[in-house]
Amino acid sequence: MWLTTHLESATLIMHGHLRQRLRRAGRKLKGGSARAAAAALFDKGMSTSAALQFEGDFPLKEMHRVLKGKAYLADQALIELVRRADYSRYEPDVGPDVLTEEEWALFLHIRSHVRRLRKQFEKVGIEPGGERTTE
């Protein structure tokens, strides 16, 4: 499912250094807001964005196909994330090469489950292809 869809993410940190956050907090304090100044001390201004790279769209249709008739095998969080990702496609400003926040959350959920399952398979000596590595 992920062979022709390449997801790329980047995180921007605008206020990574303490001196930047102190300067920003000072401006908020001069503006009269002690609460905003305190929040500015801990806010690094992090912003994460994701995009589809190379060919293909987010494989939502394939996910629907896999889940159809087998939803009872999936956890409720996965079903809810698929539903939200599907609904996010109906927003007017979402183009075919834009990855929505809901699709990104779905991707991260699937990736975390794949990693967990891979570790469980490795513990019992099964390769990802299904071959047993130990007797």
What residues contact 88, with CB distance under 8 A and at least 6 apart? Answer: 94, 100, 101, 102, 103
Q: What is the pLDDT of residue 56?
A: 62
What pLDDT does 6 receive?
A: 67
pLDDT one-digit tens code per residue, 52-87: 665 666 778 888 888 888 888 888 898 899 999 888
Asked if 60 and 96 count as a contact pair (C-beta separation under 8 A), the reply is no
Higher pLDDT, 45 or 56: 45
Q: What is the mean pLDDT of residues 104-130?
A: 80
Nearest-CA neighbor of 110 among 79, 134, 87?
79
- Which pTM was predicted? 0.55
Task: Tell me the percentage of the chain whose pLDDT exceeds 70.
Answer: 81
Is the pLDDT score of 5 beyond 70?
Answer: no
- The pLDDT of residue 54 is 52
The helix-helix angle for 76-88 and 60-67 (nearest 10°) equals 140
Please determine, for residue 112, whether its predicted confidence score (pLDDT) is greater than 60: yes
DSSP E strand boundaries for the chain? 6-13, 46-53
Backbone angles phi, psi at 13, to 5 degrees: -115, 110
pLDDT of 8 above 70? yes
**All structural domains of the chain with their residue ranges:** 1-55, 57-135
